[in-house]
Amino acid sequence: RKEVEQDPGPFNVPEGATVAFNCTYSNSASQSFFWYRQDCRKEPKLLMSVYSSGNEDGRFTAQLNRASQYISLLIRDSKLSDSATYLCVVNVLEKYSSASKIIFGSGTRLSIRP
């Protein structure tokens, strides 16, 4: 089982629709959580961090459920420019060291059609 799992999609939705992605993680030592966006043939860029209380940034809302070990991303009023791959990222603390491990999910592809 992968440590971070995402539905690969693709999600193909009309402009203006609301779309939601989930991401599950298996390691209970996971400390912090993020969503990154990656456009085709480009490098990943941070979209938003995910806080325990949930957080919103414009049309984007992120939620964390530690008990069920999943995070979600909701996009409202989707735009053509939202078409991209959305990567779930988890920071896991290493138990016996001072280091941490960053784990990316495989990504969920989103395509917004006019």
Partner 1 sequence: DTGVSQDPRHKITKRGQNVTFRCDPISEHNRLYWYRQTLGQGPEFLTYFQNEAQLEKSRLLSDRFSAERPKGSFSTLEIQRTEQGDSAMYLCASSLVGLAGPRSYNEQFFGPGTRLTVL
Q: Is 95 exposed, middle or buried (0-12, 13-18, 19+ CB in 10 A)?
A: exposed
Tell me whether residue 15 or residue 44 sits nearer to partner 1 (CB atom): 44
User: Across the chain, how many H-helices and E-strands are there?
Assistant: 0, 11
Query: Does 107 interact with partner 1 (rule: CB under 8 A)?
Result: yes
Among residues 45, 59, 66, 79, the one that binds partner 1 under rule CB under 8 A: 45
Give whole-number Cα distances, 107 to 10, 57, 68, 85, in Å.
10, 20, 20, 6
Q: Does 43 bind partner 1 (CB under 8 A)?
A: yes
Specify the residue, 43 or 114, whose C-beta has the smaller distance to partner 1.
43
Of the pair 17, 44, the CB lying nearest partner 1 is at 44
Q: Is 44 in the site for partner 1 (CB under 8 A)?
A: yes
